[in-house]
Amino acid sequence: MKYLELGLAHLAKLECPLVVGNIPDTGISFERVLSLGKHAGTKTVAKANERLRKWAASRASVGVLDFLKFHQQASRNFEVEVVGKRIPVGKNRELFLQWDQIHPTLEG
């Protein structure tokens, strides 16, 4: 959480409209990129996202992109909804996430 607060302090200095993504739960990436010790845990991710939401809500020019939901949908090959457009069940993991299943592709 220390690094989240540091990041938010840096972002607060910007004087422009800003869109930030919330934090995905990267648990699916165990044994690909992350070891168990590198995963913050679901409770910590939820706490960090709540802090981010509250921080953004207090700033009129900041919006939050729900990357957590997007990542959950894409990593499980569920239907993905992006800007009101629905992408059906299928190859969403390969289409929207890189090999590490954390970072989005260009399409993602």
Please give the pLDDT value at position 89: 83
Domain-embedded: residue 84: yes
Rounded distance between C-alpha atoms, residue 79 and residue 57, angstroms: 28
Report if residue 106 sits inside a domain. Answer: no
Question: Residue 33: which domain range?
Answer: 2-6+19-96
Instruction: For strands 18-21 and 80-82, give the pairing.
Output: unpaired
Q: Answer whether residue 73 is part of any domain.
A: yes
35 CB burial (10 A radius; 0-12, 13-18, 19+): exposed
Q: Is residue 85 part of a domain?
A: yes
Measured between alpha carbons, how far is 52 from 69 in angstroms, rounded to an integer? 15
Distance in angstroms (rounded) separating the CA atoms of residues 36 and 38: 5
Query: Who wins on pLDDT, 30 or 6?
Result: 6
Q: Is residue 59 in some structural domain?
A: yes
11 falls within a domain: no
The model's pLDDT over 69-95, given as tens digits with 9 standing for 90+, comes to 888 888 888 888 777 778 888 777 888
Instruction: Tell me whether residue 102 is in a domain.
Output: no
Tally of domains in the chain: 1
